[in-house]
Structure 1
Amino acid sequence: MDLVERLAEKINQLDGLPTPIHIGFLTADNSLQLYPAPGSRTISQDWYGVQERELNFEIAIRTDDAELGNRCLWNISNAIDGLQTLISKDESFEFNTIEMTGLPFISEQDVEGFSIYSLDFKVNIDQQTED
């Protein structure tokens, strides 16, 4: 399923990102990452094998510029909160909705002066199960 790739692609189209978003966990340097979060679930399945799924994701930025981290995640939040379409390139899912489950927040600050800002959201899709 190419959902996470399509989300990253959509976010990377935004103007003013300090760096392109990557898929995976934060690195030791300045980084902007998108990754699955716990709690995803299957809501229902019909007789044809189509599952309605709710998938949780988190976007995080690790930066030594607190203002930049906060502004970046607010811009991403505002952009994806209004997302109406997201098209799978391999036809592995059909996009239904996206919902912000919180507002951007600072989750950590280390002794080196780096802060981590996070944003949580969930995506509702339909996905055909394997026969």
Structure 2
Amino acid sequence: MDFIERLTDRINQIPNLPLTCKKGYIGAEESFVVYPLPGSQVIRKFMDGVSDQQLNYEIAMKSKSQAKIHQSLWLVQDELEKLEELESNNKSFEFQELLITNKPFINQLDDQGWFVFLLDIQATVTVFNTKEE
């Protein structure tokens, strides 16, 4: 399923973001990433193997500029709250909805001056029973 890739692509279409969002985890330097969180689950499973799923993701940004992070994550949050369509490139899922479960919040400030802010989302998608070859 290519949901996280399409989500990352959609975030990168938002104008005026200072960094490119990548799939993965926060690095040692300035970072802007999206990754899955625990707690995702199948809501409903159908006889043909298709399922409705709730998927939990976190968008994280690390920078020494608290203002840059704050502005960026609020832009992302505003755009994702309005998201009505997200299309799979390989027809592995159909987008239903996306909810912001935690608005941008500070998670960390280390002794070297790096701030980490997080934004949590939950997406509901229908996942099709596709076999990748």
**Aligned partner of 1:111: which letter?**
D
State how 1:31-110 maps to structure 2 within 5 Å.
31-110=31-110
Number of positions where the alignment pairs a residue of Structure 1 with one of Structure 2: 131
User: Match of 1:57, as an amino acid?
Assistant: Y
Equivalent position amino acid for 2:21 in 1: I
Gaps of 5+ in 2: none
Inter-partner Cα distance in structure 2 for 1:63 and 1:106: 12
The alignment-based identity, stated in percent, is: 33
For structure 1, which runs of at least 5 residues remain unmatched after alignment? none
Contact 2:101 2:120 in 1 (8 A): yes
Alpha-carbon offset, residue 130 of structure 1: 5.4
The CA distance in 1 between the partners of 2:81 and 2:104, in whole Å, is 12
Question: For 1:103, what is the secondary structure of its paired residue?
Answer: strand
Q: TM-score, normalised by structure 1?
A: 0.97
Q: In structure 2, how many angstroms separate the alpha carbons of the residues matched to 1:52 and 1:46? A: 9
Taking structure 2 as the reference length, the TM-score comes to: 0.95
Q: Runs of at least 4 residues of structure 1 off by over 2 A?
A: none
